[in-house]
Amino acid sequence: MPSNIEAIGSAIDVSAIDSVQAVVCDLNGILRGKRVPVDQIEKVLSGGIRMPLSIVGVDIWGEDIVGSSHVFANGDIDGICASTGRGALPVGWTLKPSAVVPLWLVKEDGTPFLADPRQALAAIVRQYHELGLRPVVASEMEFYLVDPEPDHAEPPISPYTGKRLDSDAILSIDELDDFGEFFSDVYAECKRQNVPADSAVAENGIGQFEINLLHSDDPLKAADDALFLKRIIKGVARKHRLAATFMAKPYGGRSGSGMHMHFSIIDANGKNIFDDGTAEGSDVMKHAVAGLLRGMEETTLLFAPHFNSYRRLRPDTHAPTRISWGYENRTAAIRIPGGKSSARRIEHRVAGADANPYLVMAAILGAALVGIRNKWMPAEPTSGRAYQGRGASIPSEWGAAVTAFENGSIVPEIFDAELRAMLIACKRQEIAGFAEQVTDFEFGAYLEIV
């Protein structure tokens, strides 16, 4: 075994690593896999690790889906865990230095397993490449730092003042300074893992922050970056005796956390095809907008995949509630930012920070491509407050979003039938799990009243 293993951007000294985690991403955006001895890292990188194909479809609690054809009906067959090409990523926040190797699933015959969310995104990207086009994407990731001790969301104690945060502090430089060591370590880990972290800001909620990622013309790497940025933030937070959460709505009465995605499309000559030299953008951009709008109801499940997700999609909360678009309008679901025409792009504002970046990007790029191919045109853009504007509402209830996904006509053009079936079964099992729970609030409300 060589003393160094190449990672993106750097080489890892194997002699300094305690263990290796071989991981795939499931439909919920959770990394699942195996811890293996460091002397097996070459085996991991060369596709020598196998895992059940069903692993991508387990529910949020890691339970098999009851009645799944991928479990008992076919013997719970394995897939081959192939390297994504990212290599081994160093992990510096664990007690002993380790590394993680991102993998994705292929079938025994070498074909992609299209229920793997990364493979689903790759299939959409291939369609763009076949047309001589390249999507350029970037994401903005919001999250909360919270006190790790209580069993409920509680603002953190400032390492600088020793006092618990008690007020919203949007764009506060002081709050960034309070957690300066945390952010310095996040940026250091991002550099080690070649995650292109850009600016960080304090957001609307108490202890809420946002870190942006730079634009990339490789959507697969961009989705990798979003996934591993979340993991870096969580890991570094633990190191600093904090907890980081990407729940869409950890506080019922405060701002939710989103994962806004920006994208444009460039042609073989490197020209942004959304740019027509005007502030309005090209017809191709409008075709993409129309595809996003027509597909929004049936793709909401990818943007709001969990029970908690629907607490975020409420009026006047900086999260959209209507299927709408507009220029420089942050109350709309689809925003066209201003600026130079050469940088004309679409901002999709529906996804929560709890969503799976691969499925979010696949849903957005896929629906946009359907709109471009059909040359659809959107209705007139919304001006002013979009919460009371025209147009249908984004599904505001989990079960309705599952049904819309299941019955949609655009979703089958984006996602393989196997992925759709696995995701629907997973979400229906999770819905049943939550329906069985009686909360303390519910018990207290009804105990002596009814």
| Number of domains making up the chain | 2
Say yes or no: 70 and 202 in one domain: no
Say yes or no: 317 and 190 in one domain: yes
pLDDT value for 227: 97
Residue 148, classed as helix, strand or coil, is: coil
Q: Work out the burial of residue 84: count CB atoms within 10 Å of its CB; fewer than 13 is exposed, 13-18 middle, 19 or more buried.
A: middle
Domain for residue 327, yes or no? yes
pLDDT at 376 over 60: yes
Domain for residue 190, yes or no? yes
Domain for residue 100, yes or no? yes
Say yes or no: 101 and 132 in one domain: no
Say yes or no: 73 and 222 in one domain: no
Q: How confident is the model at residue 75 (pLDDT cuts 50, 70, 90)?
A: low
Of 92, 115, 138, the last residue of a domain is: 115
Which residue range(s) make up the domain with 37? 16-115
Say yes or no: 302 and 258 in one domain: yes
Say yes or no: 110 and 190 in one domain: no
Give me the mean pLDDT over the 68-84 stretch: 81
pLDDT value for 21: 93
Say yes or no: 32 and 173 in one domain: no
pLDDT digits (tens, 9 = 90+) for 167-212: 666 656 777 888 889 999 999 999 999 999 999 988 878 889 999 9
Task: For the full predicted model, state whether its pTM sits above 0.85.
Answer: yes
pLDDT digits (tens, 9 = 90+) for 126-137: 999 999 999 999
E strands, 312-408, are 325-327, 334-336, 346-348
Residues forming beta bridges with residue 216, ordered by sequence position = 137
Sign of the dihedral defined by the CA atoms of residues 210, 245, 261, 114, in that order: positive
Say yes or no: 259 and 330 in one domain: yes
- The CA-atom distances, in angstroms, between 380 and each of 263, 290, 343, 348, 364 are 21, 11, 22, 17, 20
CATH number of 88's domain: 3.10.20.70
Rounded to an integer, what distance in angstroms lies between the CA atom of residue 6 and that of residue 106? 23
CATH number of 157's domain: 3.30.590.10
Rounded to an integer, what distance in angstroms lies between the CA atom of residue 406 and that of residue 413? 13
Say yes or no: 183 and 320 in one domain: yes
Total count of residues recorded for the chain: 450
pLDDT digits (tens, 9 = 90+) for 293-309: 999 999 999 999 999 99
Residue 229, classed as helix, strand or coil, is: helix
Domain for residue 422, yes or no? no
Say yes or no: 151 and 191 in one domain: yes
Say yes or no: 265 and 329 in one domain: yes
